[in-house]
């Protein structure tokens, strides 16, 4: 649910990186953080010290444009992927304007990917996010692994038909920006549509 700050003339959008534990969600966010000018980004924060793997930061991407003359600030979150943190994950999903699913290409991580996809759909249902409308982008990460599952197989098993899919090696910073930019564009289109609806009612 995008938040409008009239005093700063900014709209804040929440983009949540999800996926199984250790698939590279934090690495994606750290890479994006490193690529943003320090004066247009906030701090990189670990949300809960006892859940060390949940990360957050916000920034103003310069190349995604504005919404109705408002600057757009993106708040990027990574959920803790481990099954035991379901309650924290549900909280992080709340109010999301878009989702990036980071899949792990490692052969032995397929069950974890499938469980994380199930968890994602459960959370979307819980919050009434429409599967056909909510911005959702898939990233097949760790393409550099020797034992990587084929991209076609991962796509077939994990990705929502019609959703964009990017291959990545996030620790080499390959595919990270492309994934974010596509998610960002979709989030902005979605937020614009939502605002148009609000104003026409």
d(CA 113, CA 81): 10
For ligand GDP, the binding residues (CB under 6 A) are 21-27, 53, 78, 81, 141-142, 144-145, 169-171
Tell me: does residue 53 bind Mg ion (CB under 5 A): yes
Q: Which is nearer to Mg ion, 30 or 72 (CB)?
A: 30
Output the smallest distance, CB 21 to ligand GDP, in A.
5
Whether the Cβ atoms of residue 101 and residue 136 lie closer than 8 Å to each other: yes
Burial of 196 (0-12, 13-18, 19+ CB in 10 A): exposed
Output the smallest distance, CB 106 to ligand GDP, in A.
8
Whether the Cβ atoms of residue 189 and residue 66 lie closer than 8 Å to each other: no
Q: Which is nearer to ligand GDP, 19 or 67 (CB)?
A: 19
Stretch that binds Mg ion, among 49-57, 59-67, 116-124, 185-193 (CB under 5 A): 49-57
Whether the Cβ atoms of residue 117 and residue 174 lie closer than 8 Å to each other: no
- Pick out residues in 68-127 that bind Mg ion (CB under 5 A): 78
d(CA 146, CA 180): 25
Output the smallest distance, CB 44 to Mg ion, in A.
12
Partner that binds at residue 186, options Mg ion, ligand GDP, none, CB closer than 5 to 8 Å by kind: none
Output the smallest distance, CB 12 to Mg ion, in A.
22
d(CA 106, CA 149): 6
d(CA 71, CA 12): 9
Instruction: Please give the residue ranges that form the binding site for Mg ion (CB under 5 A).
Output: 25-26, 53, 78
């Amino acid at each position: 649910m995008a938040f409008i700050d009239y005093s700063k003339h900014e709209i804040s959008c929440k983009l949540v990186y999800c996926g199984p534990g250790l698939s590279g969600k934090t690495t994606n966010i750290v890479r994006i953080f490193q690529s943003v000018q320090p004066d247009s980004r906030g701090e990189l924060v670990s949300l809960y010290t006892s859940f060390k793997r949940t990360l957050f930061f916000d920034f103003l991407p310069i190349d995604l444009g504005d919404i109705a003359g408002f600057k757009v600030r993106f708040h990027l979150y990574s959920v803790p992927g481990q099954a035991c943190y379901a309650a924290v994950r549900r909280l992080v999903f709340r109010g999301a304007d878009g989702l990036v699913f980071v899949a792990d290409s490692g052969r032995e991580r397929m069950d974890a990917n499938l469980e994380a996809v199930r968890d994602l759909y459960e959370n979307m249902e819980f919050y009434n996010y429409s599967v056909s409308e909510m911005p959702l982008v898939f990233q097949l990460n760790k393409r550099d692994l020797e034992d990587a599952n084929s991209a076609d197989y991962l796509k077939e098993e994990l990705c929502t038909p019609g959703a964009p899919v990017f291959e990545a090696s996030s620790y080499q910073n390959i595919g990270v920006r492309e994934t974010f930019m596509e998610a960002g564009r979709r989030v902005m289109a979605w937020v614009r549509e939502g605002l148009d609806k609000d104003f026409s009612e």
